[in-house]
Amino acid sequence: MMQLIPILIILFSRVTTKHVFATLSFIAEIFIFLYVGMDALDIEKWRFISQSPGKSVGISSVLLGLILVGRAAFVFPLSFLSNLLQKSPHVKIDMKQQVTIWWSGLMRGAVSIALAYNQVK
């Protein structure tokens, strides 16, 4: 019976650590959404946008384009390197999956995690 105690301790600490990180992630998301919500209520920013809507749309478009190019600059080369290291063809990331990862947000979110779990199996 005493030989099972270390196994139970490891199992319990792993479960506890998993819950701690999930809770910290949830709290961080709450603060991010609160910050974004409070920032959206800033009246001075809305006055600036109403004075020059064309400039605001132009800057937003350029930033969106740069974000998409930046995501592509990381996702596609890293996927290519990952495919070079994989020996089995069914484990490699195909172009459709790469585009999904790129669109979902630079290796974050549920889609990229699902693809990672698919790689492990």
pLDDT bracket for residue 119 (50, 70, 90): low
Say whether both 25 and 58 belong to one domain.
no
Q: What is the pLDDT of residues 59-76, one digit of tens each?
A: 778 887 887 888 889 889
Say whether both 66 and 87 belong to one domain.
yes
- Of the CA atoms within 13 Å of residue 118, those in its CB half-sphere come to 12
Q: What is the pLDDT of residues 25-57, one digit of tens each?
A: 888 888 877 777 777 677 777 777 777 777 778
Main-chain dihedrals φ then ψ at residue 38, nearest 5 degrees: -70, -35
Domain limits for position 63:
53-121
CB 56 within 8 A of CB 49: yes
- Residue 11 falls inside a structural domain: yes
Distances (CA, A) of 120 to 12, 27, 33, 103, 114: 24, 28, 32, 22, 10
Render the burial of 52-63: b for 16+ CB within 10 Å, e for the rest: eeeeeeeeeeee
Q: What is the pLDDT of residues 96-105, one digit of tens each?
A: 999 988 887 6
Which of 50-59, 72-81, 107-116 shows the lowest per-residue confidence on average (mean pLDDT)? 107-116
Say whether both 65 and 116 belong to one domain.
yes
